[in-house]
Amino acid sequence: MQPTETTIATVEVRHASYLRLLNGEVPFPEPFDDPRAPRRICEMVDQFINRSSFDLKAFCESLPNRVITI
Rounded Cα gap, residues 11 and 7, in angstroms: 6
Predicted TM-score (pTM) of the model is 0.48
CA angle 14/16/17 to nearest 5° reads 65
34-40 long-range contacts (CB < 8 A, ≥24 apart) are 35/67, 35/68, 35/69, 36/67, 37/63, 37/64, 37/65, 37/66, 37/67, 37/68, 38/63, 38/64, 38/65, 38/68, 39/63, 39/64, 39/65, 40/65
Q: How confident is the prediction along the chain (70 residues), in pLDDT tens digits per residue?
A: 555 556 777 888 889 899 989 999 988 877 777 888 989 888 888 888 776 777 888 888 898 899 877 6
